[in-house]
């Protein structure tokens, strides 16, 4: 009897959660939400399943989700196996032709297909592509010192809009094409920011392995303006690995993305918590 009561309470809470989500569901109807799924946020099979389920739910309630994934740790693992040495300069992988082959194989062949499969397993229609497909992300060379690392230069999002109309969830590997047919390795955050900017997305969610932007005392700041980010960077509060993320956020906002959220993608249902509850998650940055 006791057990029954506990179960009833559980279902009541579930129903209440759904009911309270209504204003959020209405707000995001038709919205474009770009989700950067970083390699460090990809934990285990269960984590991937939950992530895929959340994305399929988003699509089900009328949101247009776009996944841009990373896979740095998976690339490192494969390079190690193949005994190809790899260095990072200012957070970007120095990429020669041999490294580029491995990067493309791992990102487009392995990580991308794993995410697509997880989405399809949950009843969604995931389709994998990279920035090379349909001229989505044409790049120029970044710093020549980095070799085949690209900076997004010209975006064509026509393919993504066709996918939205067909109820397809695009899953994008951060690889771009040069004007002379070269293949470029693009940092995952940079690619996500460029795609979100070109789509003028309503939200860019950067899923990583930290809880958000922290203030001087180590507390996560839940809401920030672009100016606060600039000030906290100038005084050294924002440092290290957070800089490329906040820089991506500032660039995306400048290009017309309404808000960027930096959040811990390892937390259960991080995406739903952020979009469909009052609680929110991580740090929300807007103009
Ligand atoms: C990255 C692309 C993958 C990536 C790399 O080669 O590791 C550059 O550094 P995460 O998991 O988001 O870090 N590209 C140029 O960004 O993965």
- The string of pLDDT tens digits covering residues 1-44 is 455 566 677 889 889 989 999 999 999 999 999 999 999 888 89
Measured CA to CA, the distance from residue 206 to residue 188 in angstroms comes to 10
Mean pLDDT of the chain: 94
Question: What ipTM goes with this model?
Answer: 0.98
User: Is the beta carbon of 69 within 6 A of some atom in ligand 1?
Assistant: no
Q: Given this model, what pLDDT does residue 91 score?
A: 84
pTM here is 0.94
Q: Given this model, what pLDDT does residue 156 score?
A: 98
User: Is the beta carbon of 39 within 6 A of some atom in ligand 1?
Assistant: yes
Shortest CA distance to 111 belongs to which of 201, 39, 190? 39
* pLDDT tens digits, 141-170: 999 999 999 999 999 999 999 999 999 999
Q: Given this model, what pLDDT does residue 278 score?
A: 84
- In testing the pocket of ligand 1, which one of 34, 36, 72 has its CB within 8 Å of the most ligand atoms? 72
User: Is the beta carbon of 92 within 6 A of some atom in ligand 1?
Assistant: yes
Q: How close is the Cα of 245 to the center of ligand 1, in Å?
A: 12
User: Is the beta carbon of 112 within 6 A of some atom in ligand 1?
Assistant: no
CB distance 210 to 216 below 8 Å = no
Nearest protein Cα to ligand 1, atom 7: 72
Q: How close is the Cα of 72 to the center of ligand 1, in Å?
A: 5
Q: How close is the Cα of 174 to the center of ligand 1, in Å?
A: 8
Determine which of 171-175, 196-200, 224-228, 264-268 has the lowest per-residue pLDDT on average: 264-268
68 secondary structure, DSSP code: E
Higher pLDDT among residues 56 and 42, named by residue = 56
- In testing the pocket of ligand 1, which one of 37, 43, 69, 71 has its CB within 8 Å of the most ligand atoms? 71
User: Is the beta carbon of 270 within 6 A of some atom in ligand 1?
Assistant: no
Which atom of ligand 1 lies nearest, measured to the CA of 185? 15
User: Is the beta carbon of 103 within 6 A of some atom in ligand 1?
Assistant: yes
Determine which of 111-120, 178-187, 237-246 has the lowest per-residue pLDDT on average: 237-246
* pLDDT tens digits, 211-240: 999 999 999 999 999 999 999 999 999 998
**pLDDT (mean) for 54-66:** 97
Nearest protein Cα to ligand 1, atom 1: 187
Sequence-ordered list of residues with C-beta below 8 angstroms from that of 287, at least 6 positions apart, any chain: 225, 226, 253
User: Is the beta carbon of 176 within 6 A of some atom in ligand 1?
Assistant: no
Instruction: State the DSSP string of 158-209.
Output: HHHHHHHHTT-EEEEESEEEETTS-EEE--HHHHHHHHHHHHT-SEEEEEES
User: Is the beta carbon of 248 within 6 A of some atom in ligand 1?
Assistant: no
Instruction: State the DSSP string of the chain.
Output: -HHHHHHHHHHHHHHHHHHHTHHHHHHHTT-EEEEEE-TTT--SHHHHHHHHHHHHHHHHTT-EEEEEE--HHHHHHHHHHTT----EETTEE-B-HHHHHHHHIIIIIIIHHHHHHHHHHTT--EEEEETTGGGSEEEEE--GGGBSBEEEEEE--HHHHHHHHTT-EEEEESEEEETTS-EEE--HHHHHHHHHHHHT-SEEEEEESS-S-B-TTSPBPSEEEHHHHHHHHHTTSS-TTHHHHHHHHHHHHHTT-SEEEEEETTSTTHHHHHHHSSS--SEEEE-
* pLDDT tens digits, 66-122: 999 999 999 999 999 999 999 999 889 999 999 999 999 999 999 999 999 999 999
Q: Given this model, what pLDDT does residue 280 score?
A: 80
CA angle 93, 98, 104 (to 5 degrees): 70
At 177, is the pLDDT very low, low, confident or very high (cuts 50, 70, 90)?
Answer: very high
Q: Given this model, what pLDDT does residue 7 score?
A: 64
Sequence-ordered list of residues with C-beta below 8 angstroms from that of 193, at least 6 positions apart, any chain: 204, 248, 249, 251, 252, 255, 257
Which atom of ligand 1 lies nearest, measured to the CA of 69? 12
User: Is the beta carbon of 150 within 6 A of some atom in ligand 1?
Assistant: no
Q: Given this model, what pLDDT does residue 54 score?
A: 96
Q: Given this model, what pLDDT does residue 10 score?
A: 86
**pLDDT (mean) for 245-257:** 95
């Amino acid at each position: 009897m006791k057990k029954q009561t506990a179960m009833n309470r559980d279902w009541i809470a579930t129903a209440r959660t759904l009911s309270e989500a209504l204003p959020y569901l209405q707000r995001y109807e038709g919205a474009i939400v770009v989700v950067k799924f970083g390699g460090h946020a990809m934990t285990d099979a269960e984590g991937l399943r939950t992530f895929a389920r959340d994305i399929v739910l988003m699509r089900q309630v009328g949101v247009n989700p776009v996944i841009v994934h990373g896979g740095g740790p998976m690339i490192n693992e494969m390079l190690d196996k193949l005994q190809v040495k790899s260095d990072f300069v200012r957070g970007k992988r120095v990429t020669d032709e041999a490294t580029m082959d491995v990067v493309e194989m791992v990102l487009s062949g392995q990580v991308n297909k794993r995410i697509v499969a997880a989405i399809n397993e949950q009843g969604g229609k995931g389709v994998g592509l990279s920035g090379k497909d349909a001229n989505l992300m044409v790049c120029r060379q970044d710093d020549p010192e980095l070799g085949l690392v690209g900076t997004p230069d010209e975006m064509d999002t026509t393919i993504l809009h066709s996918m939205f109309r067909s109820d397809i969830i695009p899953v994008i590997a951060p690889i771009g094409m040069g004007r002379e047919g070269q293949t470029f390795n693009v940092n995952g955050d940079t690619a996500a920011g460029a795609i979100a900017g070109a789509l003028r997305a309503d939200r860019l969610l950067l899923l990583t392995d930290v809880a958000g932007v922290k203030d001087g005392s180590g507390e996560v700041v839940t809401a920030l303006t672009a100016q606060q980010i600039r000030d906290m960077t100038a005084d050294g509060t924002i440092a290290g690995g957070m800089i490329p993320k906040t820089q991506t956020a500032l660039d995306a906002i400048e290009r017309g993305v309404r808000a960027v959220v930096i959040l811990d993608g390892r937390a259960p249902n991080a995406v739903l918590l952020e979009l469909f509850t009052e609680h929110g998650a991580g740090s929300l940055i807007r103009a």
